Structure 1
Amino acid sequence: MSDTHRPTTTAPFALSALPATWHSENGTPPPRRLIAADDSLRAEAAYRLVCEGTALLWQGAYPDALRLLHAMRRRAERPRPRSRSVLDSPAEAFRKHRRERARLARVLGMLLVPLDTDHRVRLDRAPDVREACLAAYGPLLDNRIVSLRELLGVIGAHQWRVRGVEVPALGARIHPHYGVFSPVRGEYVDLVARAPLPPAALTHPTAHDLGTGTGVLAAVLARRGLRRVLVTDANPRALACARDNARRLGLADHIETAGTALYPPGGDRTALVVCNPPWLPGRPTSTLDQGVYDRDTRMLQGFLDGLADRLLPGGEGWLILSDLAERLGLRTRADLLCAVSGAGLRVTGRLDTVPRHPRATATDRSDPLQRARAGEITSLWRLAPA
């Protein structure tokens, strides 16, 4: 979007007057003020409007909407003046980083596009997004208004789903669904692939995978000879994704979805319980954030508190956890070990690995979290009743 375009005359109108329904996967409430906009709106004026809380319903061509979004992003990402009198702690740098990302998401999410019931974007030169939107949203009963930023996320997620993610530990690809955290960080999968199975697994080859996500860890366990792996996840999309991947890998007879509670219902004991909870304490602000942030460490604590009563004699719980929270000052190692012992558990062993993802090896000094990421260690904690 060129900055030299003259602003168009716009007329405010209430969202309720539109023949469409507001839709946000992140639970963002509908904007209080909405105006029509097209390619006559300058980027500077558009950015000022969205910062003031006015959403823009795009009426022009789709490529122009993309250009405007990029122009708004450049303005939103301009360095902001900050005080140099106080050196931020890692925890405070992290909190500022999250606040800034939330601001960016809020501002850029104010550029909206119309979506028909047949999942078509009603704009000139818009791509065919029907397959991607159907996979993410399911059937639509009415026209929708969605954030262009969200729509781009839907399109990108569908490309991941079609192509899949190569998982060396499986020698195959995992296909993440929209809203399900993708296993692009393979080091934690490798830990599950090489950790010694507990003695109970020799006579009772069963396991639970809590918070299964794409089902990648359940697939690794099934490939290692565990004949029945029950998987749970609070996100119904994740359960559908795990079923899909189990079918693709020929493991549908060994992997069974068991609902949205943390532990499978019924109280059955098993040889192994695996849990890869979100690694950072904090409140998730989006669907994908739920794979990163564990509000009040509820999932971690729930796993620990319920573990002893779910293990067979000779069974183990495997906790896969990064120490990034410790490096950021959000949790201490003493806190973690206290939670383990407080749940009547003991540590019988630990396997460590270092991350291989690009952020861990980057040298971006402007990233306040770079130092913590560079030293990050991911561990598989082997736990048993005390």
Structure 2
Amino acid sequence: MVQAKIEIILSGKKITANRPEPILSDIEVVPYKKRMDPMDAVDALIDGYSVLIVDYFSSGLAVLSELKKHLQTKFPDQSYKGQREFRSAYQKLSQKLLIHVTNNKLNVRKAPVIGWLEILYPNLNEFLLPFTQIQGLNSSWQWYEKGIYIPVLDQKIHPFFDTYFPTRFEHIKLFDKWLDRYKGEKKSAFDIGTGSGILSLQLLKHGFKKIYATDTNPNAIIGASQTQGFNQYDSKIELLLGDLFAQSNSKTDLIVFNPPWLPASHNTQGIDNAMYYEKDLFPRFFEEAKKHSRINGRVVILFSNLAQITGQEKNHPIEKELAEGGRFEKELLLEKKVRSASKNTKRNQNWRHSEMVQLWVLKQKVNDNK
């Protein structure tokens, strides 16, 4: 595995990775130790104080556990909407539970070693970070070191910090199945929102000669540049940092888009942009897709009915485009039922029995090609 880098040079421009914002200024904190009642720390958080873990890493876990118990009594609704409100409240309060970082190590006992601290904060000797951000860095480092096996690629990927990667593969298998039957041109393709680069690697596997892989997240671009497969095919893959088509002038035979599956109910940033879409995302995508698709090209969108079955959105954005947009028509729709949630999943995911992943194949309307 290649050692991760915090920045790369792309088209003559330096791209620097996003990272959790370090707290460098002196702030007033309430110290917390293991012998104290964790509810005292929760009360302090609710009252607006910052709480600093000062002894053991496990002390932070105890406070967060107590915070979850407290909020569960405030947000008992187990519907999708109710769980989302619970997570929002938890995120807001937990951000004020802090931990001290010194010389790229956590300044508490029995703490995990997190390689991202050295990579993402190379010139900072001392700062504070929210405990939940440390948890995210730790989980991400474990995924990065161990890698994630992708069945359709028969290889592991090592996702860079704050880069989206799939934890289930139904939609990826659906795309691979479609690529097996694809008979169109394979001169070029766009992978919009490449994330950890899996769809681009599938396109390479199926013989595409040139791929433009775009993403708004610099971490995705940095991670992709270090991914096995990408760095072996530099001449075939062009990484582009930017929104949607990243202001490229290219037209391609195929445009692949695996957008977020849920509408945003809050301001999104970082990896949240891979999970929640703003209202204007799909209209903007379809407008640009028409400009970047060759006349006989195809647009493939990997999506889900998740927003509809959880009551987050009545209108299906692809169906809305086909009914009202006047730019594309449906050529094919493939659907695959998702597997049941793991027995180890703590969240109530009763909607999974109705969820279907979808692969939409669109082509330009005939009257637009004249």
How many Å apart are 1:219 and its aligned residue?
0.3
Give the residue type in structure 2 aligned to 1:288. Answer: I
1:347 and 1:383 in contact (8 A); partners too:
yes
Is 2:364 the partner of 1:376?
Answer: no
Is 2:104 the partner of 1:123?
Answer: no
| Cα distance in structure 2, aligned partners of 1:381 and 1:179 | 28
- 1:22-171 matched pairs, under 5 angstroms: 25=20, 34-78=29-73, 80=75, 93-116=79-102, 118-129=103-114, 131-135=115-119, 137-141=120-124, 143-171=126-154
Cα distance change of structure 1 residues 285 and 263 upon mapping to structure 2, 3 Å threshold? closer
| Cα distance in structure 2, aligned partners of 1:286 and 1:264 | 18
| Cα distance in structure 2, aligned partners of 1:377 and 1:327 | 10
Give the residue type in structure 2 aligned to 1:75. Answer: H
Is 2:160 the partner of 1:174?
Answer: no
How many Å apart are 1:333 and its aligned residue?
5.2
2:328 and 2:364 in contact (8 A); partners too:
yes
Cα distance change of structure 1 residues 308 and 175 upon mapping to structure 2, 3 Å threshold? same
Which runs of no fewer than 5 residues in structure 2 stay unpaired?
Answer: 1-17, 366-370
Question: Which of 294, 302, 307 is the equivalent residue of 1:312?
Answer: 294
Which runs of no fewer than 5 residues in structure 1 stay unpaired?
Answer: 1-22, 83-87
Is 2:170 the partner of 1:187?
Answer: yes
| Cα distance in structure 2, aligned partners of 1:344 and 1:285 | 28
Runs of 4+ in 1 over 6 A off after TM superposition: 361-364
Q: Calculate the aligned-residue CA RMSD, in Å.
A: 3.0
SS in 2 for 1:53: coil
Give the residue type in structure 2 aligned to 1:34. Answer: V
Give the fraction of aligned pairs with identical amino acids, expressed as a percent.
21
Give the residue type in structure 1 aligned to 2:260. Answer: P
**TM-score, L = length of structure 2:** 0.83
1:24 and 1:146 in contact (8 A); partners too:
no
SS in 2 for 1:39: coil
Alignment partner, residue 351 of structure 1 = 334
How many Å apart are 1:168 and its aligned residue?
0.9
**Structure 1 residues 317-371: Cα deviation after superposition (integer angstroms, max 9, x where no partner):** 0011101112123334565323234151111111111213625x8998x83xx34
Q: How many residues align?
A: 345
Give the residue type in structure 2 aligned to 1:237. Answer: N
Cα distance change of structure 1 residues 231 and 334 upon mapping to structure 2, 3 Å threshold? closer
SS in 2 for 1:231: strand
Alignment partner, residue 3 of structure 1 = none
Question: Which of 245, 251, 270 is the equivalent residue of 2:227?
Answer: 245
| Cα distance in structure 1, aligned partners of 2:259 and 2:99 | 35
Cα distance change of structure 1 residues 285 and 310 upon mapping to structure 2, 3 Å threshold? closer
**TM-score, L = length of structure 1:** 0.80
Is 2:190 the partner of 1:208?
Answer: yes
